[in-house]
Amino acid sequence: MEILPAVALQGALIGILIVGTERLPKGKWNDRPLSFAQAKALQGFLALCVVFHHCAQKVFFDSWRSGFSPTGLEVMALIGYVFVGYFFFCSGYGLYQSCQKKQGYLDGFPRRRVLPMLLIYLLCNTIYLAGRLAMGETFGASRLACLLCGLELANPNSWFVVTLPLMYLLFYVSRRGCSDEALVTRRLFLGTGAYILAGVAATMAFPRGGRYGVFLGRWWYNTVILFPLGYMFGRREPEAWAWMRGSYRRQVACSVALFILSFLLSFVFEMVYYVAPIAIALESLSTVSFTWSLLLFSLRGRVTSRLLGFYGGLTLELYLMHGFFVNLFYQPFYNKGEGIIIISNPLVYIPLVLACGTLFALPFKLVTGRLLGRNAPRS
């Protein structure tokens, strides 16, 4: 595979964000760096990055197994988890803002927020299971039952819509009947920490339990710390922005350096030393530093891209729908046999996955819109 087209495609992805961002004059700051439009546009960009990441994974690991010839997609294939952290951050931040602005926000919260996400998960699992059966994959009776009831992910990417409602439920338990926001924040951190520790233990106890069993895999745990951090940021927002503006250049340098260092070290501990707890801790640190960089970016620029705004309103649906085409056009799920339609050129493969994922995400949004409600948080 030629490296140059893959590099050019990644450059185009970054270019979409740069061209679609209005850089503010020196000495000026974005007065609403976490406005709904700004956050959704950045989420739209990150959703595109996630699609790119999953495609790059297929190409990269295929190359790795066949003797590792450079593809130009190595970094994008390994870095995908950091893109998810911003979504958890915005969810925690959004819940704090909603509690402050909407009286009785917690009334019926599990029914309005937790249950719909779990229903979306089960529906998505069923759709993917039907698609995989249509692709010719076969399952034993016990595994088919696990897939139907959601104990195994038919869509490997749908872990997010299991973890997020759990974070919602943690928020509900922490916030209900408690007016002390500092205590709520501590409860969120303790609950999230317990979730991460339990997950690390489960991952180590069942190393061969299946990559896509519920709660098995580092990606279930290496980004969720951004949820309580987002809530805490909402509590201290004015002071946080003032702190960032006060030492802006230094923080940009620190956030980028910390991200690169923790990302590289996490790769070493995962792929060389096989120490999962340290790898997860370093991946969490790289996710935090990446989100920190995005917040600093938001202080100095306004994202005005209509394309990113469009995908910002489609993030959940695109995230859930694109994975089928990642496999259809390269290799089936779990790398079983050869692909139905093999497209090895990334200049064709990745845009085609994005186009098909978008086409399926649009009608799926009609379903999620009914379940979540028009004004429900979309991250």
Query: What is the per-residue pLDDT across 168-227, written as a single tens digit (0 to 9) for each?
Result: 999 999 999 898 999 999 999 999 999 999 988 887 777 665 667 888 888 999 999 999
Domain limits of the chain? 3-372
Report d(CA 258, CA 290) in Å as an integer.
Answer: 9
Alpha helices in the chain (DSSP H): 3-19, 36-65, 74-78, 81-101, 109, 115-134, 141-149, 160-175, 181-205, 226-235, 237-246, 248-271, 276-300, 306-312, 315-321, 323-328, 346-372
Report d(CA 222, CA 286) in Å as an integer.
Answer: 9
| CB atoms near residue 130 (< 10 Å) | 11
* Rounded average pLDDT over 103-129: 93
Supply the pLDDT for residue 375: 47
Report d(CA 71, CA 237) in Å as an integer.
Answer: 42
Find, among 283, 290, 284, 292, the residue nearest to 265 by Cα. Answer: 283
Question: HSE (CB half, 13 Å, CA atoms) of 72?
Answer: 15
Q: Average pLDDT, whole number, for the chain?
A: 89
The predicted model scores a pTM of: 0.93
Residue 61's Cα: distance from chain center in Å?
20
Kindly report which listed range (5-19, 101-115, 241-255, 273-287) carries the lowest average pLDDT score. 273-287
How does pLDDT run across 309-368, given as a tens digit for each residue?
A: 999 999 999 999 999 999 888 876 655 555 567 787 888 899 999 999 999 999 999 999
How large a percentage of the chain has pLDDT more than 90? 66
Kindly report which listed range (63-67, 79-83, 97-101, 359-363) carries the lowest average pLDDT score. 63-67
